Structure 1
Amino acid sequence: MATGTEPHPNSGGVRARTRAAISAPHLRTDRWWLAPAVTAAGLFAFIVYSTWRAFANADYYAAPYVSPFYSPCLAENCKAMPSGPNADLFGGWWAISPAIIILVFPLGFRLTCYYYRKAYYRSFWASPPACAVAEPHAKYSGETRFPLILQNLHRYFFYFALLVACVLTYDTVLSFRDTHENWGHMGLGSLVFLANIVLIWAYTLSCHSCRHIVGGKLKHFSQHPVRYKAWQFVGKLNNRHMQLAWASLVSVALADFYVYLLASGVFDDPRFF
């Protein structure tokens, strides 16, 4: 006998014929929506800020600091230290912001990151919005079709992320020079850059791809003690992958914003020595 709660014959997902006919969308009574809402707000704020800074094409260098959004700066209109890590490889034909050249690599690494997939799948696509909460989509094809199949590029973006981290490490070393390129300087910006690069490296090395590269395909850890130790270290970082993802996202934005404040003349870099 019909009860009025049967799923529609043509419906899919949790309302398919093979699923239990439960009238309630879910049985959770807690504020399950809060976590995806906060995640969406945080990611949206970073997207807005990074887009503005990437296309600004200004206020990204204040000796001896160069914004991480613009480093390595490969366009002719980049004004950094002559002995710094930047080069005019693209010449004058590149008319838009030089940040567009380089940001594709760290952003590609983060967009395909396992944690960030979970974050924006839940917060923006509601796929699913939370544990034990059904997603509104009738069908699910996973990451087997375009465009989500491109998530498999994560392992390759990892190598580019390593290169970017090396460049930002060099920038951090250069931040301990004064405006005349003499060593022995340390300002507040030096500490900002130092904190940022520590978090960048921690997040990069905590990546699942890094863990697989270090310890994957090993049948006997006892025969590879060095790789085993490295795998254990990366595994401990991997346990904090979510926290490191957020911390490094905030730190790179703060480092860029700090350079922006200096370059736009809001205040001078406090110098310790």
Structure 2
Amino acid sequence: MATGTEPQPKSGPAPGGGVRDGTRAAITAAHLRTDRWWLAPAATTAGLLAFIVYSTWRAFANADYYAAPYVSPFYSPCLAENCEPMKGGPNWEIFGSWWGLSPSILILVFPLGFRLTCYYYRKAYYRGFWASPPACAVAEPHKRYTGETRFPLILQNIHRYFFYAAVPVAGILTYDAVLGFRDENYEWGHMGLGTLVLLVNVVLIWIYTLSCHSCRHVIGGKLKHFSRHPVRYRMWQWTGKLTNRHMLLAWTSLASVALADLYVYLVASGAFDDPRFF
């Protein structure tokens, strides 16, 4: 029975009002950290900006992406008629002569979408570019926080489908690396520095792809009894070990794909000749 003495609910801003509203602890300092917490988000911003600038330039360059037998990972598979000839390579002229832009734009959307929606990269650019939050125990400057519940960030939930698209792309890059065991006349039994560059790149791309949280979920996320699926359970454990190194694999594979493209560009542009081991 109400007596009129019950404590009344506190009045204040609605939930989602940020860290400075009346429902949060009244701490006057912006944060209590004394270390150089800003170094990590600053380094992340610099690294991602460098890749964005470089990859944008190379994607729209539409030149110097093929030096027989090497093809840049930014341009494979080449799906337009205006592709440079790639004898034996994945050059499928699905798009006719009406496509006048760089052919890399047709394929980069899939690996780019896979990385943009990746759990680690979300954390990286949320902190580095949007300061949401900039670091642990540092308040974000936004008044409201809706997370990934509204457009456009709700599109992050399609990450699994980009994973399905990234797997065949990694397979095609593996095929490109195998074709690197040819010489400029497309004869087998040769190996150059570019062969090693493409091999290292595709290995890192595969490991990064398999370390994806969606991959781990596909393998064992819906299993109710691991004992009934021993093979999938072992695969789930193995991918879990890779997932623990997802951040490292994300950065190393990002650097390797840029370096692989840069190497092909330098050889194709005539900056130097590809050293041949045999």
The TM-score, its normalising length taken from structure 2, stands at 0.94
Segments of 5+ residues of structure 2 without an aligned counterpart are 1-11
Q: Secondary structure at the match of 1:92?
A: coil
Deviations along 1:128-171, whole A, 9 cap, x unmatched?
00000000001100100000000001000001000100000000
1:9–1:227: structure 2 CA closer, same or farther, 3 Å change rule?
A: closer
Once residues 263 and 27 of structure 1 are traced to their aligned partners in structure 2, the CA distance between those partners, rounded to angstroms, is: 53
Who is 1:64 aligned against? 69
Who is 2:42 aligned against? 37
Identity %, equivalent residues = 79
- C-alpha root-mean-square deviation of aligned residues, in Å? 1.3
Q: Secondary structure at the match of 1:29?
A: coil
Once residues 249 and 22 of structure 2 are traced to their aligned partners in structure 1, the CA distance between those partners, rounded to angstroms, is: 42
Who is 1:157 aligned against? 162
Who is 1:269 aligned against? 274
Q: Larger Rg: 1 or 2?
A: 2
Matched, 1:238 2:238: no
Segments of 5+ residues of structure 1 without an aligned counterpart are 1-7
Q: Secondary structure at the match of 2:80?
A: coil
Who is 1:86 aligned against? 91
Preserved CA contact (<8 Å) 1:12 1:138: yes
Alignment of 1:37-186 (within 5 A): 37-186=42-191
Preserved CA contact (<8 Å) 2:76 2:172: yes
Among candidates 248, 255, 271, match of residue 253 of structure 2: 248
Once residues 186 and 67 of structure 2 are traced to their aligned partners in structure 1, the CA distance between those partners, rounded to angstroms, is: 13
2:251 maps to a residue whose letter is: W
Displacement of 1:22 in angstroms is: 1.2
Q: Secondary structure at the match of 1:87?
A: strand
Equivalenced residues, count = 266
Deviations along 1:68-106, whole A, 9 cap, x unmatched?
000000111111323211121112110000000000000
Once residues 88 and 265 of structure 1 are traced to their aligned partners in structure 2, the CA distance between those partners, rounded to angstroms, is: 27
1:58 maps to a residue whose letter is: A
Who is 1:3 aligned against? none
Displacement of 1:9 in angstroms is: 7.4
Displacement of 1:182 in angstroms is: 1.1
Displacement of 1:216 in angstroms is: 1.0
Preserved CA contact (<8 Å) 2:17 2:145: no
Runs of 4 or more above 6 Å deviation: 8-11
Preserved CA contact (<8 Å) 1:63 1:80: no
Who is 2:231 aligned against? 226
Preserved CA contact (<8 Å) 1:64 1:178: yes
Once residues 9 and 263 of structure 1 are traced to their aligned partners in structure 2, the CA distance between those partners, rounded to angstroms, is: 61
Deviations along 1:180-230, whole A, 9 cap, x unmatched?
211111000000000000000000000000000001111111110110111
1:165 maps to a residue whose letter is: A
